[in-house]
Amino acid sequence: MFEIEKKFLINQDLFPHDQVIDTIKIEKKYLPNKREWVIRVRSIDAKTYFLTMKKKVNNVKNIEIEIPIDKNTYDNLSYLSNKSIYKTRKTISYDDNIWEVDFFDNGIILAEIELTDENQIFKIPDWITEEVTDNMKYRNVNM
């Protein structure tokens, strides 16, 4: 399955916390891998677990394979992890699009929008400051 997304930095002072429609806690554990694929296990609110394999196709498009797993499998694979990230994701609807805003434990805040097409036109909220889709520094695996 393809995933098309763009990432942005935000101005936290302008972020509309009162418009958040969902909040979840995410923990990602990256597994050692010497190939083009990023492999990770992910926990959502310590209730739902996934094994995910992701490969960059271009700056906005990825191949993503996500498989539900149980907690025991998550725990066992977590022991192999060489990197972990923790974040709180807040979801907002803006101009008929869903924005996921990740508040990382390291202080970075990123907004993400998933698109149906690489050339899709969408309205950018006023709390967005800079697009960082092409900046490798802001890929989760590099955080």
Among all residues, which ones are annotated catalytic?
A: 30
Per-residue DSSP letters for the chain?
-EEEEEEEEE-GGG--GGGEEEEEEEEEEEEP--SS-EEEEEEETTTEEEEEEEEESSSSEEEEEEEEE-HHHHHHHHTT-SEEEEEEEEEEEETTEEEEEEEETTS-EEEEEEESSTT---PPPTTEEEE-TT-GGGSGGG-
